[in-house]
Structure 1
């Protein structure tokens, strides 16, 4: 349970304060990362071209024809202004509309020249204009270099330096794609402005511009791009009402060339205006087309009847009807014209009904006014169907067939058709009744006609046909004039309020400040994440707080980092901070002994988790501080696998504990003197094949008891507890056990074993010593807990009480240099 608790602490506890100190300690990394970010941001900013926003403003108004009457209605106002505004917004964003604009402006062609960092768009600033031969192909995505020799001559060139053939896409009429194989080659020819360039690569003509004169040496580049790609680049045009529900639209376009943006916005409105006027004149145009064809037929029919009438009068002596016959003729002519008009209406109803039943495209529905029909329900129904058909046709460029929006329009058209068919049926019934009445009157007058002489009857028949043809011809001619008048008087519903114009400003990018903000953000975030990951996945001990979170074993002291080449820190630098730390540990050990009530000799065992944590270093210096206090002390090296202590005291390891344990030497033979009179050493001796078994023998116990009888303190340097079981055999001889923990070396998981032993009571009187500690390390912060006289550097007594063995910082070395320099000048 204890081990599980410690493991949970390990995973759930996060030292926020330590992490913040660690972040601060990595400040050079943050500075370097932010500097790199600023460098990248600057590199991007100076190379980015300016981005401009150009806009214009138009009003979609409901401009009715001033000659609009119930008798000349060849236009419709379906849905009012709101519907027109919505239609205009959709149209301006549609692919079909933008294709017209791109095609008219030839925006599938690019004009470039060399800039400071890259090629820049010089549309509208070239000393020439280009006329494209759309009947011949142009190669795509290939730059043609144009270098002027003088004000009229130039060289156009390009190159293909591959060794093999390449496939190039070209335009035929700039829209139909085809493919060609072009071998590697150099193309260069000289032309004059106005001279046609006709090659297998490019077919254009460059014309001079009066306002801009070319100079010798000027270089430009032209190229053709995919037509569809050029259109896609302008589909992001912003079209929004000025206010909610307003008929005023504001168009915005963003790009790098203001002249190109200005022309596009103004041309887009011009194309919209033309299209809306054309749709407004749709019925008038179709009526004129229909009447023109009908007039030709009626004119021939009228001429034939007129020739027949003249021939009859020439062959007979009768030229005019008698008064009674004339009255009958006038009345019959009136009835014939009425019947002709009603028949024309019925024919229209039948044609319209058949059209609605059998056709799916309703854009060519004949206009009711052609047949003289002005019934509101019929006129409105036809107008609505045509409008919906036009809307559906425009959406076909933006949506795939089967899209929900098409189904919605089709449902609306079907609903209008059902209402219109009911109106047609009702109107046809009324017209048939009227024809029956007229036929009855005509029959009565024809009975009267049969009472007249034969020659007058024949003349009356011919004149009836002549009058009917004349009346029909006059009606069509009147309708033709009305349609022409309506079309001529119609004006577009698009009113330009503000044209797009380069007023000198409009720059909206690039956002250089945002780039610098992003540089700071990512320049800070990257090292932050890096430090966080290092902290999160770091499982080593870095400070005292780490130890306190992982174990309940008390901390005996903290030892600073030694910069000596050997382990004799107390002997060689007795006034150093490290020496004071060992003296503090000595005092703490004496407190432990006193608390246990021990009298006479005392033993100390030093162990650790793994090798390299300072176990031997601590053993030597603890023995040294006891010996320097005039206490007889002996250091026993019982790490039989990796003996070390003999090297620091310049003694040999030929004979030691192993020899004694195997009864190959006496106790006196294995004890060796050191440079301190009160400090003796017993080395481990030769490495045995069975170190654990040797340490478990009775002679080991006899040796410890014998040494306790001769010395005040017995210091045991034992093997690492986390690697071998030797230390567990030796702990029973120790009055106090020191467990070494080294900063940035000992892993947190190593505490599991010692915690378990401590919890179960197998290890008693154990304390921790934190070794190799640097208070300014990048792993946390120092703690003034009062262990010993101090630890690290600058803690404890302070300057003047012990030597400072730290390496001076660069700042202190520079400061000392200037102090010495000033002092020399004064002297």
Structure 2
């Protein structure tokens, strides 16, 4: 009968404690140390051989341009948000391929101009070992800049850091400053793009008008030489002078109209992207009849004023006329401005906040364009009228008058375009950038990387972490039994554990029969603890006389356990018999250094007598029977009635019969014997027996309703990580007054 109720339930869950984790680390201490030292050595080697990295930082302050209608300021509540978005856009420009390409070409130019070419580590080919360093191709340099340059905004500020890292301190500072300069150039170009396009247009017009003026002057000179006419009549001169004034104004207005159209179209395109309906609404308003009529009246009065100025009336009369016309012009302008103010207020009130400035600018430019267009039409009418008057001159002077008028008109127009061009240059240069270089990148004196001490520390920590991870992974996939707690956590009774016997693997029989050869050793104390546990494992001691020693598989120490358990019982003055029932691979005779014959199978077959198979040993009260001849059918012999009768006969003569049997999983011999003995002890080997095999073995023994007493953990190396067990055995194994303590803690 099984008195250990916990042997029947294998569903217990392991409760891991801090001691379990400490034991796990101690058990894997050697691989942890090896992995840690390996990682540490790798870190040291890397730290020693890693090149010095120098860092240079250029600090920029990027402000949001208030006057740029494409980036109009928002209402105060959202101004910070708009600024952050603007800075984010500028950072993307700083990271753009276009900027890196510009920096790369500038870096190559600096490399070519420098005498110290070895200072340009970033652009020199890595495998270049020649006397004259060669640069990488432009794409490789651009790619390197993307990895070695970082752009970061300081949180909550309009400050951007351009950080460059290089193995050359000079190059780090150079690249940082080239980045800032190149970005500043791009920024200025962007802010001035409208004025730049106007300047380029005026430059083109200036060149064209100069060429046209030269052609007209050459034509006039040739005409005068061919016809012999040098001067025009006074009447023709006066008419030409008045005509050229208006023609030059018309041409100047045409140029202004073209510039205004360019500006207006750019603003309209931007507004159309954001709100096409407002853009269409502004166009319809600017061309409505009332507005156009006011603009035409103003343009007509201006031409009347110009005629009055160039007229032949007396000074008093002329002054009165000009004053009257100016009064009318001012009155019409006031009406126009009032109408525009009302309209502007209506449009802006319905416009989203973020495009109000852009809407206002489009409105102003649209009105300006329509006003110029009205003026151009009126001036064209006046010039056409003067053409008719020129045609009424005498035939001999018409051609000369026309040529003279063209020359004078082109001359005045060229001077006007030249003036406008110079003004455009001034306007373009007067537009400031919104980038301010706070700090230029300096040549660093000390490297910023690598932090060799930190690398070594990280290597040490990483190595230790990998070692710990290795231990846990190894433990996770290792299903073998390691400690007595592993067995207890499965709700399986553990009788005792035997420490690892040093030297037993060398085949030394003194170590195998250790209770006889070294009775004062810790292993002998453990076998005596096993003896005590077995004796008290059943309430009725008289029913526990035959003990079966088995194991899940071979090489787990069941024979060694059988021999030493029998020896420890004999030392307790109990007449004990050791029976080798392992008819597959018997080993008891090897332990006692005797022959296998005759054995109990020979007795079964009638080849020898009962007394001849019982052999004595050097230990009092210890006897043994070898296996004898190995039969072809061991299971049939062990399950025969003769075997039961044989065991009963032995019980009458001995206090205890210890039976060594084959492994439980491999063959059925042990399972058969377990049903006829008074108790069964299952031997498992630490770090060898898998937990699945233990559970299966216990299941077999419980299924057959055998008297399963519990498990013996053999070959337990308590010194390797299990300090609590080591303390127990150290205490009970140390010498006291020349002897060893006779007692061992068994609980």
TM over 0.5: yes
Residue 23 of structure 1 deviates from its aligned partner by 0.5
Residue 763 of structure 1 deviates from its aligned partner by 1.0
> CA, structure 1 residues 513+286, in 2 after alignment: closer, same or farther (shift >3 Å)?
farther
Distance 1:530 1:62 in 2: 55
Equivalence for 2:323 = none
| Higher normalized strand content (fraction of residues) | 1
Residue 685 of structure 1 deviates from its aligned partner by 0.5
Residue 610 (structure 1) aligned to one of 534, 553, 559: 553
Equivalence for 2:263 = 380
Whether 1:27 and 2:29 are equivalent positions in the alignment is: yes
- CA RMSD, aligned part only? 4.8
Distance 2:537 2:125 in 1: 91
Equivalence for 1:811 = none
Equivalence for 2:442 = 502
Residue 519 of structure 1 deviates from its aligned partner by 0.4
Whether 1:530 and 2:474 are equivalent positions in the alignment is: no
Equivalence for 2:604 = 661
Equivalence for 1:825 = none
Distance 2:475 2:410 in 1: 99
Equivalence for 1:596 = 540
- Which fold has the larger relative contact order, with Cα–Cα distance below 8 Å and residues 6 or more apart in sequence? 2
Indicate conservation of the 8 Å contact 1:616/1:717, yes or no.
yes
Distance 1:5 1:472 in 2: 118
Structure 2 SS opposite 1:222: coil
Distance 1:684 1:632 in 2: 20
Residues 352-407 of structure 1 show CA distances to partners (whole Å, capped at 9, x for unaligned) of xxxxxxxxxxxxxxxxxxx133886x463245489x8xxxxxxxxxxxxxxxxxxx
Residues 400-455 of structure 1 show CA distances to partners (whole Å, capped at 9, x for unaligned) of xxxxxxxxx994699999799877998898778767766776788888889x8x74
Residue 8 of structure 1 deviates from its aligned partner by 5.8
Whether 1:762 and 2:685 are equivalent positions in the alignment is: no
| Higher normalized helix content (fraction of residues) | 2
Q: Which runs of 5+ in 2 are unaligned?
A: 74-82, 293-365, 743-747
Indicate conservation of the 8 Å contact 2:7/2:491, yes or no.
no
> CA, structure 1 residues 621+103, in 2 after alignment: closer, same or farther (shift >3 Å)?
closer
Structure 2 SS opposite 1:598: helix
> CA, structure 1 residues 534+287, in 2 after alignment: closer, same or farther (shift >3 Å)?
same
Residue 292 of structure 1 deviates from its aligned partner by 1.4
Residues 555-587 of structure 1 show CA distances to partners (whole Å, capped at 9, x for unaligned) of 333333334622332222333333333333333
> CA, structure 1 residues 640+108, in 2 after alignment: closer, same or farther (shift >3 Å)?
farther
Distance 2:130 2:430 in 1: 46
Equivalence for 2:175 = 264
Residue 691 of structure 1 deviates from its aligned partner by 1.1
Residue 101 (structure 1) aligned to one of 103, 125, 137: 103
Q: Which runs of 5+ in 1 are unaligned?
A: 65-74, 114-119, 126-138, 147-220, 346-370, 389-408, 785-789, 806-827
Distance 1:648 1:84 in 2: 90
Indicate conservation of the 8 Å contact 1:50/1:510, yes or no.
yes
Equivalence for 2:516 = 571
> CA, structure 1 residues 602+503, in 2 after alignment: closer, same or farther (shift >3 Å)?
closer
Indicate conservation of the 8 Å contact 1:55/1:251, yes or no.
yes
Q: What are the residue-to-residue correspondences of 1:237-276 with 2, within 5 Å? A: 237-239=149-151, 246=158, 250-271=161-182, 276=188
Indicate conservation of the 8 Å contact 2:579/2:626, yes or no.
yes
Equivalence for 1:583 = 528
Residue 523 of structure 1 deviates from its aligned partner by 0.8
Whether 1:520 and 2:460 are equivalent positions in the alignment is: yes
Whether 1:143 and 2:143 are equivalent positions in the alignment is: no
Residue 733 of structure 1 deviates from its aligned partner by 3.7
Query: Which range moves more in the overlay, 583-592 or 609-618?
Result: 583-592
> CA, structure 1 residues 320+85, in 2 after alignment: closer, same or farther (shift >3 Å)?
farther
Equivalence for 1:752 = 695
Equivalence for 1:545 = 485
Question: How many equivalent pairs are there?
Answer: 635
> CA, structure 1 residues 431+753, in 2 after alignment: closer, same or farther (shift >3 Å)?
closer
Distance 1:712 1:294 in 2: 135
Structure 2 SS opposite 1:715: strand
Equivalence for 1:480 = 418
Residues 712-768 of structure 1 show CA distances to partners (whole Å, capped at 9, x for unaligned) of 333322222222222233234423332222322322112233432454461125233
Distance 1:531 1:739 in 2: 29
Indicate conservation of the 8 Å contact 1:607/1:717, yes or no.
yes
